[in-house]
Structure 1
């Protein structure tokens, strides 16, 4: 029953039943139940309950957890952004498999501990394990985050020598080269692939590469090429390209992109709405920015901050303060 709840994304119900089982002396809690419950805890990012279940596991297993349980507890801690606890488990494990190493490496990189992730990859190789696509993805992400071209190139070379290909590989490489100030290399990679081989993520990665290089003209040209070649942009594409309107064609181009977003029902996404508010405010159309803001059904801290800054930039201090007070009433902290 717990498994059925998890499969249907009813995580809170799954955990309520799990806690009921734990409190009963009539039901034996097996490894499958524990694994399923830890998965629910990971997805809910409930670190407090996760620590309680971990303590229960240690008590029941005399501090020597089976490999599969140790791995899942590590995943739980990493999903709850508790990298230290995940690494403590990693260090205590007498046995590790590729999943163990990849989980810990990914946890480091996802929490911006990129050097630690790179060191662990080298340790993984010394331990005799092959660097697989999961580890390569972490390597490329770490190289991108650090802007470390040497590591990125070495990883790219390793992929070529080993003949490794995996979904999303091209976008990771484009992102890495762009953030390492090698946009031309990123563009050559993009051009190597035929039109049919480029997916939405690849197009977005190349547009983002141009925007990272402050090359709004080429980012807009690529956006138009994407449309010509019948690759429909998604909400990520729209939020990436809207800032280019501030320097290219201004408000008219922005309105065209807004119209496209409305037709494709992409304007309902919070980050598209926020990007529209920002674009209109920076193009001098604060009333249009406010109209978009008022129509948004979902707003976050970034949305409110963008609108407040827009008011401030246009000398509308009273309206900025009024919106700031509204945030206070909504208990929405802009300082987090």
Structure 2
């Protein structure tokens, strides 16, 4: 006769990874019949057998088998037993059937802390975080006394909700119950405070702990990293190494996550090998990824080759390491080898390649890879969608953006904040600011990227006031801007020349230690220059400890628009490796400063730096020659250009012809612009004015008719003025729309009358 004591071996077999979870119900029933029909009285059956079988069901998430065990428990009158109820709650929660878990909880008359903890954990693993907290509060009066595990679970729930207020409340309750010094509760508190952005409180808990384990150290290290204090995290790693405890695989993965140089990665790699962590898959895969991120593809491949049987994560890591460094042929070859090794390429693999292509400005290739992925029948996930959208923005395929937006909505991906952030950015870059605003309005849990995308989007599309308003809302929402946000809002200030707000943002940047950021400093130089404060631009420039090429170009351009050609060229001559923007800024400075010969020399020197003139350089050069009256030279330059002249180049010559009253070249330049199909109303008005200067009224009328036929209309002139901390705009022919127009009109008439009397 088979004894019931053999049951645990059977239960263990259910835990084997290769056990076929879909074991038929008939076999399960036969198995239980053999137990119950063996002649052993029910009272003699060890209750732990059912408990162990339920644990096996939890491991394999076998709902049907668990139901069968549940029925046997009910038949034997054991459903009110708290031990079995706890196992049933765990089983049904693991299988996603929370409502049945609740029934199992409420059917036990004498509830205990194990039942309470099982139910809280059940809510948590099913994403019902707030319900877990509500359940605890409902059972806190008159219910079982919570233990250390209860508070640890609740603090994890607060972390997942990013609810600092609730976390502090749970901390107070834990202190009242005498768990203030409990190791597990303290570890959970550190993790919660770190996740909720209150690092200082996490540090205080860590420092006050009477004893610490490796989890304590890993929790505080993770908290530092999560809050952006990478250097401090590495200091804690060093302190841990010097303590009596030994870092584990989690510590090594954390340490690697903050490495920014190949030398540091190698140092950690050596420590990993010496202490036997190199056999841990998570550490090996992190090493592969970090070597790849630092451009060390050979080292990444060496680590990969030492793996006896690389898993899918290792394959994806090494493929991405090559892709990130522009070695796309190698990454595709590895992708094929991965398939031959028995691993199917998945969404993670393709998402990594697509993201790398986008980061390396291979937008078209990213779209091709995305199409290949779709042809394989793989369905994009949140990461894939968020990765491909920047590629669409680079090539401005508006229809593709709408298609992916539609796909995201249909497959319930659109509600993810990462996808919505990317959509805001992409719509803005595709000149569809209305769609960007609609998506932004749907983001409830906005982060710094959400706000920054909208601030940048408004600025890129010329909606400068809206950009400033959104930035103000962002500050009110207590979201700390990043350098990109500050740079964009400064460009908005420059766009409408609001010096007061520009100065306020400058002060804010200094207080929040953004002043040292090179890109922010560059934006300040540009803002002050466009607001007419070139001395302030120079002051910011001089105070910057680190200047890159963009900074130098901005200062050259600032001097250029103020007509300070010689000062602009003084800086230009200090640039060791100028780019095409440097030359445009320098040529513009020569143009505004009347430095004709210097402009010609600079233009001719471009070939010495291996830079071929582009349309912008030719336009500047034509303007320089034209404004100085050398119209024939400018005309010859256009005719001998290696590229076809665009309307801007002909427009530069046309403007010079208006200044110097040259009808012949002016008429020819105008004809070239009209034939190109250009719809810039300014050029049509300029042609018309030149013809009018020479009394060609019939031709003037022809130009006006042509404008009507083509639907070209001159945009209304607009001006701005800032008074009493408010920007007022005035549009031609829409004067009455301003609420103070009558008062302003009276003042203007009074000034006009006084001016007439002075004559």
1:52 to 1:177, Cα distance in 2 relative to 1, 3 A: closer
**Any stretches of 5+ residues in structure 1 without a counterpart?**
none
> Aligned-pair distance for 1:327?
4.1
Aligned mates of 1:53, 1:259 — CA distance in 2:
44
In 2, distance between residues paired with 1:187 and 1:52?
Answer: 45
| Residue 12 of structure 2 is aligned to residue 12 of structure 1 | no
1:335 alignment partner in structure 2 = 579
User: Aligned residues, how many?
Assistant: 322
Match of 1:157 among 406, 416, 439: 406
1:72 offset after TM fit, Å?
A: 2.0
CA contact under 8 A between 2:287 and 2:300: conserved in structure 1?
A: no
Distance 1:311 1:55, change over 3 A: same
Say whether the 8 Å CA contact 2:392–2:426 is kept in structure 1: yes
Separation in 1, partners of 2:553, 2:430: 30
Q: TM-score, with normalisation over the residues of structure 1?
A: 0.80
Residue 355 of structure 2 corresponds to which residue in structure 1? 106
Whole-Å separation in 1 of the counterparts to 2:388 and 2:441: 23
Cα deviation, 1:27-48, whole Å, max 9, x if unaligned, reads: 9x868575444333223223xx
**Counterpart-to-counterpart distance in 2, 1:292 and 1:192:** 39
Task: Give the TM-score normalised by the residue count of structure 2.
Answer: 0.38
Once the two structures are TM-superposed, the CA of residue 126 in structure 1 deviates from its matched residue by 3.5
CA–CA separation in structure 2 for the residues paired with 1:138 and 1:17? 30
The alpha-carbon deviation at position 52 of structure 1 amounts to: 6.3
What's the counterpart of residue 292 of structure 2? Answer: 42
Alpha carbons 2:288, 2:301 under 8 Å: kept: no
Are residue 167 (structure 1) and residue 417 (structure 2) matched? Answer: yes
Alpha carbons of 1:263 and 1:31: their partners in 2 closer, same or farther (altered >3 Å)?
closer
In structure 1, distance between residues paired with 2:302 and 2:553: 41
Q: Which runs of 5+ in 2 are unaligned?
A: 1-246, 581-759
- Distance 1:261-1:31 versus aligned 2 partners, 3 A rule: closer
Q: Which has the higher contact order (CA 8 A, sep 6+)?
A: 1
Distance 1:192 1:69 in 2: 37
Q: CA 1:229–1:277 in structure 2 vs 1: closer, same or farther (change >3 Å)?
A: same
- Is the contact made by 1:15 and 1:40 (CA closer than 8 Å) also made in structure 2? no
* Cα separation, partners in 2 of 1:324 and 1:115, compared to 1, 3 Å: closer
Does residue 120 (structure 1) correspond to residue 365 (structure 2)? The answer is no
Larger Rg: 2
Distance in structure 2 (CA, Å) of the matches to 1:36 and 1:185: 39
> Which of residues 561, 565, 573 in structure 2 aligns to 1:313?
561
Find the partner of 1:76 among 295, 307, 321: 321
How far apart are residue 266 of structure 1 and its match? 2.3
CA distance in 1, matches of 2:474, 2:256: 39
> Is 1:129 paired with 2:374?
no
Could you tell me how far apart the structure 2 residues matched to 1:37 and 1:225 are? 41
Structure 2 vs 1, CA of residues 13 and 182 (structure 1 numbering), >3 Å: closer, same or farther? closer
Please give the per-residue CA displacement for 1:159-207, whole angstroms capped at 9, x wherever unaligned: 222222333222211112222222112112223445xx32222121112
Partner of residue 246 from structure 1, selected from 466, 472, 494: 494
Paired residue secondary structure (1:93): helix
Q: Is the 8 A contact 1:114 1:142 kept in 2?
A: yes
1:262 aligns with 2:510: yes
- Contact (CA 8 Å) 1:139, 1:152: kept in 2 or not? no
Q: CA deviation at 1:91?
A: 4.0
